[in-house]
C-alpha cells in the first residue's frame, strides 16, 4: 500500500483517538473516584451534541464558541443527575456501588434517549460551517482544520484536568476520596461535595466531546450507547480508574482502528476494538498503562 495513504490513515486515527480519549476520561474519573459505572456517559455526549447544534442553528453561534456553553450546561445537568439518581449510592460498598450505578445509569440512558427523540426527533442532524471542508496540506498530507483544532482542544483539556488533579487542593481531595473516602472524610474533606463536583466535571467533559463530535459526525438520539461502549473499551485499555493513561489509550485505539481498515476492511473496523477489549481482559486485566 502507498506510504502516504498509511500515514494519512494514522493521522485520522489520532484525530479520532483524541475524541475517544476525551469521552473516556470523564467515565474513568467517575469510576476512579466513586466506583460508579455510568453507562449513560455516551448519552451525555449525545445531549452535548444537540445543545451545540441548537445554539448553532438557532442563534448562529460558532460550534467552537459553543463549547464553554455546552460544558456549563452539562455541568449543571450532571449535578442534577447526581443529586437525583446517584448520590444515594455513596453509602454502599464499592461492589454494590458498581452494580447499582450500572442499573441506574442504564435506565437513565433509556429515558434520556427517548426524551431526546421527543425533543429533536430521530432525524440525523449535522453542523456545516464555512470552514467544515477546509484542510491544511503539508507534505502531501491533509489536516482538516476542524479535526486539528479538536485535537488541540482535547489535549489542552486533558492537560488542564491533570493539573487540576495534581496541583490543586480540590484535586488532592479527589484523589484522596478515590483511595479511601472514609479516611478522607476524617481528614476534613467533604466527600459528598467532592463526589458531586467530580460527577459534574465528568458530564462537562462528555458535553465537550459532544460539541466536537457534531462537527464531524451526524447526531441522532441513539448514538449514546455506542459511544458509552467505546469509552468503556478505552477505560479498560488504560486500566479501571487510571485517569492518567486514558487519553493515550484513546489515541492507541484510534490508531489501531485506522490501520485495521487496510487488513480487515472498513466493515469490521469496529470489531477490532472489541477484540482488543477481550484480549486485554484475558491477558492484562489491569490495563496497558497500569504498573
| pLDDT greater at residue 149 or residue 277 | 149
The cell for 47 is 445531549
Over residues 153-166, the mean pLDDT reads 89
Alpha helices in the chain (DSSP H): 3-34, 41-59, 66-81, 94-120, 145-167, 169-179, 181-186, 191-213, 223-238, 246-264, 269-283
Domain ranges of the chain: 3-283
Over residues 91-115, the mean pLDDT reads 89
For residue 25, what pLDDT is reported? Answer: 92
pTM, entire model: 0.92
What digits encode the pLDDT tens for the residues 240-278?
766 778 888 898 898 888 888 777 777 777 788 888 888
- Buried b / exposed e over 199-209, threshold 16 CB at 10 Å, is bbbbbbbbbbb
SS3 92: coil
The pLDDT confidence band at residue 105, using thresholds 50, 70 and 90, is very high
**Is the distance from CB of 38 to CB of 235 less than 8 angstroms?**
no
Instruction: Give the chain's mean pLDDT.
Output: 86
- Please tell me the least confidently modeled range out of 5-9, 143-147, 214-218: 5-9
Instruction: Identify the burial level of 100 via C-beta atoms within 10 angstroms of its C-beta, where 0-12 means exposed, 13-18 middle and 19 or more buried.
Output: middle
Residue 155 has pLDDT above 70, yes or no: yes
- Residue 135, Cα to own-chain centre: how many angstroms? 25
| pLDDT greater at residue 273 or residue 17 | 17
Fold of 3-283: ABC transporter involved in vitamin B12 uptake, BtuC (1.10.3470)
For residue 291, what pLDDT is reported? Answer: 62
For residue 290, what pLDDT is reported? Answer: 67
Amino acid at each position: 500500500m502507498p506510504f502516504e495513504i498509511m500515514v494519512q490513515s494514522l493521522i485520522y486515527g489520532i484525530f479520532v483517538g483524541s475524541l475517544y480519549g476525551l469521552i473516556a476520561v470523564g467515565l474513568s474519573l467517575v469510576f476512579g473516584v466513586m466506583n460508579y459505572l455510568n453507562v449513560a456517559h455516551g448519552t451525555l455526549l449525545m445531549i452535548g451534541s444537540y445543545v451545540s447544534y441548537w445554539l448553532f442553528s438557532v442563534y448562529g453561534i460558532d460550534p467552537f464558541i459553543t463549547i464553554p456553553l455546552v460544558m456549563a450546561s452539562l455541568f449543571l445537568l450532571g449535578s442534577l443527575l447526581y443529586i437525583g439518581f446517584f448520590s444515594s449510592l455513596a453509602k454502599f460498598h464499592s461492589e454494590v456501588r458498581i452494580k447499582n450505578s450500572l442499573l441506574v445509569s442504564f435506565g437513565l440512558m433509556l429515558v434520556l434517549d427517548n426524551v431526546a427523540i421527543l425533543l429533536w426527533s430521530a432525524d440525523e442532524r449535522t453542523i456545516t460551517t464555512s470552514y467544515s471542508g477546509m484542510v491544511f496540506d503539508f507534505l502531501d498530507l491533509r489536516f482538516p482544520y476542524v479535526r486539528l483544532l479538536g485535537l488541540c482542544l482535547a489535549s489542552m483539556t486533558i492537560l488542564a484536568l491533570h493539573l487540576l488533579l495534581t496541583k490543586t487542593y480540590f484535586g488532592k481531595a479527589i484523589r484522596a476520596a478515590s483511595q479511601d473516602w472514609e479516611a478522607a472524610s476524617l481528614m476534613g474533606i467533604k466527600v459528598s461535595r467532592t463526589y458531586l463536583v467530580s460527577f459534574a466535571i465528568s458530564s462537562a467533559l462528555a458535553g465537550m466531546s459532544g460539541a466536537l463530535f457534531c462537527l464531524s459526525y451526524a447526531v441522532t438520539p441513539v448514538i449514546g450507547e455506542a459511544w458509552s461502549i467505546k469509552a468503556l473499551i478505552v477505560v479498560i485499555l488504560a486500566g479501571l480508574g487510571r485517569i492518567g493513561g486514558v487519553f493515550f489509550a484513546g489515541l492507541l485505539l484510534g490508531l489501531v482502528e485506522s490501520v485495521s481498515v487496510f487488513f480487515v476492511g472498513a466493515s469490521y473496523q469496529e470489531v477490532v476494538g472489541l477484540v482488543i477489549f477481550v484480549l486485554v481482559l484475558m491477558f492484562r486485566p489491569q490495563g496497558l498503562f497500569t504498573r
